[in-house]
A and B are shown apart, each in its own frame.
Chain A
């Protein structure tokens, strides 16, 4: 199974075992909690209440939590909404960020230092929640899809990473292409993008995860439009059942259920959050192994 290149030394026993022990340890401290989470999501109410919390050893297994959640009539729409927001949002963010990163990658270009400062300031200075809300609603964003995407579409952090890759990995290629008379659009499209697939994949993943998990903008801009909620927000309402309700609220709420959500449900939400990532991640990971520059130089 090993694909050791001919120039590399054969592995030593000491080296291999050190690596093995380290990685084994890392795996263990990640997999044990994962096991606890998955097991709890599959446990019966009785098993959880007997454990008094998360379940470590199987005691009673049931799929009830998943059934309850996936049966909910809103979940299917919410899944589509989430996919839509994630795909459209990631596309917009990537176009804007890649363009911006490339546009700033040439040191000494017109205004590039000023624009960088303009960008970096936004990482640390914020006007606060209510002013932002007033701007977005003032532009008609209340209850609109774009309010979930545009206010957070630009991550300066991501742009800086992209920019750093662009300006360090391909400086010579860029200059060469420019001397050949290629336009910047052309250089970006046929030199930069093909040679920096790994970082593009990583940044796309960052954005996609951000959109997929985001709920704060939903809470602000469409807190009552339940038919427009993305999956994460719908799932949140399953988990948050009764959590923040002060105990001193009047007795009982009549027939209302003021108890907290079963732990199994909470853990099922965690598992459901992980599923799309487990599906998507291998496609991102694929790009890590291509020796990117070789392709460009040889081709």
Chain B
């Protein structure tokens, strides 16, 4: 029995070793809490040198609150010029992991090869399933096995522990990009400052932003323009939440299977001036849970759920099918995430109903008396990072590659990154890049741009009406956008404090309320018990460590 015993204890030890290695040994860096200082932030941020290489068909408009609409293009610019001379790479090999919401293309295909040739480096793209990306990355980080280059979308910052990964596993890019140093990478320099701000932790720059925009909104209330226009309803007639309720009555026809509303709470709440998290009034900090207007808004939504104007599937919480309901004309007014108004949406809608046209209502205030408003979101949410183990010259090579990937809309680089090589992966038909068979198989446009990309534009080649509609809506609403407190500020909290910041119990109760299952009074009870169980600790910490030290960032 002895040999077997030995073998078993050996295997046991071998299995334990990694636990020991991964969990201990390395010196622990004490977590730095708080946020960026004004001067530190200014020193870390790259200079901004806008690109002038392509002229938009519909130019940007700047709003009174600092928002800027996205430039819009009607046809795809032909014969795009190259913005990068020669190849950016120096023959290095890097592995990059990005989330992908879609079909993973085969490894080492002709598109990847074409890209590597153009980059002058071997950049092995390893897209991972976007829906489970948080589950995939968390253990990778715990085992300290992050790749050379990784995309960490910022809505998962708490889950990834991004504030603790920077500086321990992710490289500091300040020495390479701060101030005028970024001018070595002109396409990166053309990314607006706000987006870079979302990449700064503890006064140091760590991330490279993708899909940056100065018109960052969570969403809007969207509607079936074709159907409502036929009934003579236009956005100008909807000035208050009462108008919405009246529309509910007018449009609902349950017998025919048509309901006026899908879930709208997420985007309607702003009409009552409910912030995403915090609000400062008279120099004092308030969490959104304790604002009286939250209950007011819930009261309206509770009534909506009880009114019979809300689609039963929405009441059943079936959000995954909400697009299908919208296309089928079974709901006419819905909450729309900002990413949902584009070519593919148009194609899906037209497949169901050839008259399909999406529209969006203007931002309002709930009583219709004060001007409409909407709080801006971060100027970039898709942020990539480099591994701390890369040598300085490797980091420079990766940044040169990022500069290539951030080439502006319509440039030769942009065309290659998004549509592949002309003649191989796409051909130009009436000014629209059209995928060939190889293009359909191999070009996955949501891989490389997740490492770095130029600022967002509105462009839907082949569906100009969509571009015009969306650009017109942005221009009409740009003045409604205002910056919330702590906008674009990365705040690092001690774990026990951050756990208080969102309350699953309250969020659950709120949802139950706007689905008509809990009264406002019941929600208030849940909020009261949250207040008792440590909300003051959270507020105190925020006031002391963020508000008093750094201000609101406005």
Contacts and interface: CB of A to CB of B under 8 A. Distances in A.
Interface of A: 44-46, 48-53, 71-74, 129-131, 133-135, 137-139, 142, 219-220, 223-227, 229, 233-234, 236-238, 240-260, 263
Contacts of B104: 74, 226, 229, 234, 237
29 contacts: A45-B351, A46-B351, A46-B352, A49-B328, A53-B321, A73-B441, A74-B106, A133-B139, A133-B143, A138-B143, A139-B14, A142-B143, A219-B135, A226-B104, A226-B127, A234-B104, A237-B104, A237-B129, A238-B103, A248-B155, A248-B337, A248-B377, A249-B155, A249-B339, A250-B339, A250-B382, A251-B338, A256-B446, A259-B344
A133 B131 CA distance: 19
B81 to A, nearest CB: 19
A73 B456 CA distance: 31
Main secondary structure of the interface of B (DSSP, over half): mixed
Contact of A260 (B100, B147, B155, B323): B323
Contacts of A254: 211, 409, 418, 445, 449, 453, 456-457, 459
Contacts of B419: 255
A137 B211 CA distance: 34
A73 B111 CA distance: 14
A52 B345 contact: no
Given A53-B321, A139-B15, A258-B339, A250 B143 contact: no
B101 A242 contact: yes
Given A248-B377, A251-B215, A226 B107 contact: yes
B337 A247 contact: yes
B280 interface: no
B320 interface: yes
Nearest to A129: B139
Given A50-B353, A223-B129, A243-B101, 20 more contacts: A49-B327, A49-B353, A50-B352, A51-B328, A52-B324, A133-B142, A219-B135, A224-B147, A226-B107, A229-B104, A242-B102, A244-B101, A244-B132, A250-B216, A251-B338, A251-B341, A252-B342, A254-B456, A255-B418, A256-B445
B348 interface: yes
A260 B320 contact: yes
A57 B219 CA distance: 35
For chain B, give the interface size range: 35 or more
B22 interface: yes
A227 B216 CA distance: 37
A17 to B, nearest CB: 38
B235 interface: no
B15 A252 contact: no
Nearest to A140: B18
B102 A257 contact: yes
Contacts of A49: 324, 327-328, 348-349, 351-353
